[in-house]
Structure 1
Amino acid sequence: MKRLLIDGRLVETPASFDSLNPATGDVVGQSADATIADAETAVAAARRAFDTTTWSTDRDLRVRCLDQLHRALTEHKEELRELTIAEVGAPRMLTHGPQLDQPIEIARYYADLLQDYPLTADLADIEFRGQTHRRWVEKEAAGVVAAITAYNFPNQLALAKLVPALAAGCTVVLKGAPDTPLTTLALGELIAEHTDIPAGVVNVLSSTDVQVGEVLTTHPDVDMVTFTGSTAVGRRIMAAAAPTVKKVFLELGGKSAMVVLDDADFDTAAMFAAFTICSHSGQGCALTSRLLVPREHHDAIVAKVAAALERIPYGDPSAPTTYMGPLISERQREKVDGMVRRAVASGATLVTGGKKVDPGFFYTPTLLTGVDSADEIAQEEVFGPVLVVIPFDGDDDAVRIANDSIFGLSGGVYSADEDRAVAVARRIRSGTFGINGGNYFGPDAPFGGFKQSGIGREMGVAGLEEFLEGKTFAAVKA
């Protein structure tokens, strides 16, 4: 059984719960099932560590510990890889990118950034009542952070919250998703066994009890909540944090559009659209799940995308040639299938896909046409390998449709004219954008959304500053 990390100790619990391999439905392992009392103990430990140790003020200690964490993650990379494949259903090839190898470098990035990051900035002197006043701003840790992650990219999400929070000097209670607890708890074990991070600075929980999450978002000793998940849950977290006016970071849903302009290379755009929506079986908030195409080229592009989707290799995620693995659970597969069925019942055309494949929780790459921008399937996040095609009439109409969403997380545009593509991208309200397949992802690139896709930015310098507070000082010069 994977154990919790609370106040420097790896803790077993009387109750545990199974984690399933989504490719087979078999049990991968068991996780400790934290209680409300465990969550309260973890918060108390984090509060004590922040208030009574030198963690928040000792930059050298934090750099050393982040170096140790990066080394431990690197040395145990292959164990983490096999666990991620088995528990998350992530294809092996994806673990060599955003599922594992790239997230590990988040620790390296922030260890390096912290060494030279300016925590003090001078302001100009001012004259007031006949005296000269020296002024400056210092940045200090926000305090105790509750970090709550989603199931789809557990290594990335945990490290993108935990590492910059630690770099800033915060203490953390990290709660993994109940669908992928083993991967997050493995991180806690590495911290406990291979770093000098003081007891209480990092606490790692897994739980099937939703009230554990409620403790973290409402507890008066928690200063900040960072959450990745659905917009619906994000709204509830904002409301829960309001009575104590906690600082809140939210990375929420997306319904991102890929715009193919009339001068684009349709073969390249179609292939990219197909492979993007099948990345991790569509279980990515920033994936482009709406494909906007010129009306006069609609049928030709649809045929190219359908052909590409039908060639996507899916199946056993441990196989090196598999591109698409399973959905995380039968519950998620039922949700995806239900949305596809409702779309077809409402008049959409199922071009390809729309089938469950057993054993495991597989769903075939799916393409829908005849979809209106106002339809559920074009407005709501599916979180599955489902792409909808919507025609447009000119660049202005494409921008209008792309912005016709409560979300604004990501997007893409294809055009032979890069200046035209960038001009369209700048008019679409989203936090990240790819031009002709451009990839922005990296530890140094801020990630987050507009509108109901979230608040704040993760990674990069902005990701560190989310966990800092500014304090302005003034002193009368002698």
Structure 2
Amino acid sequence: MNGLVPAEGTPLLIGGKLIPGGSGVFATINPATEEVLGYAADASAADMAAAIAAARTAFDETEWSRDPALRARCLRQLRDVLGEHLEDLRAITIAEAGAPLMLTSGPQLEGPIADLSYAADLAENYTWETDLGTRDLMGVASHRVIRREAVGVVGAITPWNFPHQINLAKLGPALAAGNTVVLKPAPDTPWCAAVLGPLIAEHTDFPAGVINIVTSSDHGLGAQLVQDPRVDMITFTGSTRTGRSVLVDASATLKRTFLELGGKSAAIVLDDADIAAAAAYTAFTVAVHAGQGCALTTRLLVPRESYDAAVTAAAGTLRGLAAGDPAQAGTVCGPLISERQRARVERYLEIARDEGGRIEVGGGRPADRERGFFIEPTLISGLDNTATVAQEEIFGPVLVVIAHDGDDDAIRLANASPYGLSGSVWGTDPDRIERVVAGVRTGTLSVNGGLWYHADAPFGGYKQSGIGREMGVAGFEEYLETKLIATPA
């Protein structure tokens, strides 16, 4: 497809070497056209075992974990070489992930690359030791120091929806902290991860085995990575259902586990807000990248007396956001990632109809798209918060409008969910806004359109939306152990 992808397909990166997959190759598909883009190495169980062994050796036998200056230099080299191939990476991201062109200037590509600078800076500037001073215990005076050290070998399992953002949000902090990594990306977007391999091997000073990239069509390799006792930590982003399986598998060796899982986030509109503006904004965001974002607000909670006005505003916005070619500059809603995902969304739309929901806009495949896994941006009204589409994560461009009866009821409805990943609040009274912010149990909250995404901002959820935080200092410290050292004073 371009200079980053060899004609025979992308290779694995194991132990510093670019190698073919033990199970041959598998195809990667353009979700906007349903055409085969090319091929990626299909790793075998033996390949995964070799990658884990390489990461273990690199952690145990090199100075990587004890040399923050080297780590910072390598991360900046990776940032720079990715920047040099930005347009090739942009083309791959649009074609393989179906990401709209507009998003590649932000969280789909350029943002995550720039965020490597933050990880490099942390490696150089983090306080690795803290002096606790001297204390006496039973007549013995001891001087104590707290030291932060790398966890060890990290297994990173990532999804397909924001591949660069999630891959680099795991690689950057984990490597900056001194860990070695085995990256297992989703089978739907292997190229977005695999193209890093040659750039790392040929243009950076990462020691062999510090980063290993294992693409595979076999989901069982992810379980193998989690279960292997040589792996000290798992960082996983994906569905809550799969996250439960990861947690069970990790429990056998009691390895540290970070989970960033699903969401069914609520946009709460108070009665003193600009109802139309809040509804329109929320509708716009749910159409972005065909709704394939775990932190998108997919429940719109509006005052009962303003329900019809909110529906009208949201419907008007969604009508103007037709699903289209992600390579076109004006496209907001591209395709879903696969036929499987489109069928999932269609099933939820049928459930909504069966439960008495009204499809105000959308509700099916766009008439002008004969190929591609497209679904029209869809607005559902007439349901309450107990409806299936109000409780379960759909992962498509689908917004449900729900009436509330005041601030307390809005908080109750927002919290009446197994998830707690994100959300938003719209209003004008600062005291009322603060009360809602304090009352909603969720990991991130936007107030009147404020943007929370940045490298220095921790991201994660409450309840079944996950365990731990990614990004920011809190995310960096997920990859660290704490050691207390006491010596005679």
TM-score, scaled relative to structure 1 = 0.99
The superposition leaves residues 73-132 of structure 1 with CA deviations (integer Å, 9 ceiling, x where unpaired) of: 111111111100000000100100110111111211111122111000011311123232
Question: Take 1:278 and 1:417, find their aligned partners in 2: how far apart are those partners?
Answer: 29
Distance in 2 separating the partners of 1:130 and 1:210: 58
How far has the Cα of 1:355 moved from its partner? 1.2
CA distance in 1 between partners of 2:416 and 2:40 (Å): 41
**Pair 1:5 & 2:13 matched:** yes
Following superposition of structure 1 onto structure 2, how do residues 398-417 of structure 1 map, counting pairs within 5 Å? 398-417=410-429
Selected match of 2:467 from 425, 440, 455: 455
Q: How far did 1:158 drift? A: 0.3
8 Å contact kept, 2:146–2:485: yes
Give yes or no for contact 1:29–1:182 (8 Å, CA) kept in 2.
no
Give the match's secondary structure for 1:292.
Answer: strand
Q: Kindly report which structure 2 residues correspond to 1:279-294, keeping only aligned pairs within 5 A, or say none.
A: 279-294=288-303
The number of aligned residues is 477
Aligned to 2:449: 437
Alignment-derived partner of residue 386 in structure 1:
398
> Following superposition of structure 1 onto structure 2, how do residues 258-407 of structure 1 map, counting pairs within 5 Å?
258-357=267-366, 358-407=370-419
**Matching of residue 100 in structure 1 with residue 109 in structure 2:** yes
Q: In structure 2, how many angstroms separate the alpha carbons of the residues matched to 1:406 and 1:231?
A: 10
2:452 counterpart of 1:476: no
Q: Deviations over 1:182-202 (max 9, x none)?
A: 111012222112111000110
Letter of the 1:20 counterpart = I
Number of the residue aligned with 2:477:
465
The CA distance in 2 between the partners of 1:199 and 1:418, in whole Å, is 53
Corresponding letter in the other structure for 1:7: G
3-state SS of paired residue (1:118) = coil
1:2 counterpart letter in structure 2: T
TM-score (norm 2): 0.96
- Identify which of 45, 63, 71 aligns with 2:80: 71
The answer to whether structure 1 residue 174 and structure 2 residue 183 are counterparts is yes
Kindly provide the amino acid, as one letter, of the partner of residue 130 in structure 2. Answer: A
* Whole-angstrom distance in 2 between the partners of 1:349 and 1:315: 24
Contact 2:69 2:123 in 1 (8 A): no
Q: Counterparts of 1:475 and 1:322 in 2: how far apart (Å)?
A: 62
- Contact 1:418 1:435 (8 Å CA) reproduced: no
Q: What's the CA shift for 1:313?
A: 4.3
1:326 maps to amino acid: P
Map 1:155-170 to 2 at 5 A: 155-170=164-179
Residues 29-68 of structure 1, C-alpha deviations (whole Å, 9 max, x = no match):
1000011110000000000110000000011111110110
- Show the counterpart of 2:433: 421
Find the aligned partners of 1:137 and 1:318 in 2 and give their Cα distance.
51
Does the residue aligned with 2:133 lie in a helix, a strand or coil?
A: coil
8 Å contact from structure 2 (residues 258, 467) kept in 1: yes
Instruction: Let me know the Cα RMSD of the aligned residues.
Output: 0.9
How far apart, CA to CA, are the structure 1 residues paired with 2:376 and 2:198? 36
Cα distance per residue 1:159-211 (max 9 Å; x no partner) = 00011000000000001100011111012222112111000110001111122
Pair 1:204-2:216 in alignment: no
- In 1, the alpha carbon distance for the partners of 2:35 and 2:122 equals 42
Distance in 2 (alpha carbons) for counterparts of 1:208 and 1:108:
32
Distance 2:410 2:154 in 1: 40
Cα distance in 2 for residues equivalent to 1:425 and 1:311? 31
The one-letter amino acid of 1:200's match is G
Which residue is equivalent to 1:145?
Answer: 154
Contact 2:94–2:100 at 8 Å: present in 1 too?
A: yes
Aligned equivalents of 1:273 and 1:11: distance in 2? Answer: 45
Task: Specify the SS of the correspondent of 1:440.
Answer: coil
Q: Distance in 1 between matches of 2:224 and 2:394?
A: 29
Distance 1:389 1:19 in 2: 36
CA deviation map 1:339-389 (0-9, x unaligned):
011111111111111111331011001010111211211111000000001
What letter matches 1:277 in structure 2?
V
Q: Percent identity?
A: 55
Deviates most, 267-276 or 158-167? 267-276
Q: In 2, distance between residues paired with 1:197 and 1:369?
A: 53
Tell me, yes or no, if the aligned pair for 2:235 and 2:257 is still in contact at 8 Å: yes
